Amino acid sequence: MTTEVDFYELLECERTADDATLKSAYRRLAIKYHPDKNAGCKEHEDKFKAINEAYDCLKDPQKRAAYDRFGHAAFRNGGGGGGGHGGAQDFGGFSDIFESVFGEFMGGRGGRPNLRGADLRYDMEVTLEQAFHGHETEITVDVSGVCDTCDGTGAKPGTHAKTCQQCNGHGKVRAQQGFFMVERTCPICHGAGQVIAEPCRDCRGEGRTDKTKTLKINVPPGVDEGTRIRLTGEGEAGARGAPSGDLYIFLHVKKHGLYQREGTSLFATAPISFTTAALGGEITIPGLDGEKHVIRIAPGTQSGREIRHRGAGMPVLQGRGRGDLVIRLDVEMPSRLTARQRELLEEFRATETGEECPEATGFFAKLKAALG
């Protein structure tokens, strides 16, 4: 099981972004995460490598077209969602696209249709806490599985498929049309190269039947919105014993009541009293890790100030360390005062010199000067 992050998400771009936007985003992120600028930071080093991989794909029109259509599967074992159980492979370029479009008439390299099962998609929602700690769960999916009666061969038990006499097992037949020799999929065996005289009664020669499967999903700590988990071979079963497709789990993170997430950083807004802002103090914030994080507030803190608590954010996906917890302070003015509190504030106002709030004093001084 592998976890894959969308290339556009890595570059912080929309899927409709043009080449200039992609290039600009890549340069900005490459500078930000370059190893020379972040020596010894494994998280930034991994991010830098991932950003380069993403841009290397999307800057090439052919690779980008393949990625937009098939995702990461475009670069495994020939691309296009084709068969594969491990191993990455670059997209072959224009020749592969040409063959995929015209191979039916011009004769492809393989000579056989791709009987591999289709890839499937499953959307799963997780909470921010589950994304933080990791999560194990089970899902139920309806798929075409290998026929138990014929073990996926498509033939009646005790019988076997025979070589197609029309194409002699090649899966394709040729015909002369004017000056051209045209090659097409064999109409008898449909490209399989073999025919089944006695099909299995349960799957009718397909080698697969509809099934319901229960799968255990292990969501690693640090996943984010759009993270994909690939379960190799858990997609649709291939026809007549061909390899099965893959199942892709697309993760969606629910909104949290307190925290907002940006990458590995967690943001929260904390209201504080104006006396705490003026005199200083402490507030305690409960973290997703179960710890209580003490945030110290300096005297004279202004509303909107952000205090960064290192290492209290989200875990790095498939890496080490954690991001930061960022608390935005919102100074709250009292809406109701007792008579004594109002009296004290009046006494304070009577002692003000203007130096207590230099920004306000400076603003009104500029305003006065502007008005002559």
Q: How many CB atoms lie within 10 A of CB 227?
A: 22
Alpha helices in the chain (DSSP H): 7-10, 19-33, 42-58, 61-70, 94-106, 128-133, 274-279, 339-350, 358-370
State the burial class of residue 241 (Cβ atoms within 10 Å of its Cβ: 0-12, 13-18, 19+): middle
Query: What's the CA gap between 65 and 58, in Å, rounded?
Result: 8
Contact 156, 275 (CB under 8 A): no
Query: What's the CA gap between 117 and 140, in Å, rounded?
Result: 18
**191: alpha, beta or left? (left if phi > 0; alpha if psi -120 to 50):** left
Ligand-binding site membership of 357 (annotated): no
Ligand-binding site membership of 13 (annotated): no
Q: How many CB atoms lie within 10 A of CB 144?
A: 22
Ligand-binding site membership of 41 (annotated): no
CB-side neighbour CA atoms (13 Å) of 21: 9
Ligand-binding site membership of 167 (annotated): yes
Known binding site: residues? 147, 150, 164, 167, 186, 189, 200, 203
Known binding site for Zn(2+): residues? 147, 150, 164, 167, 186, 189, 200, 203
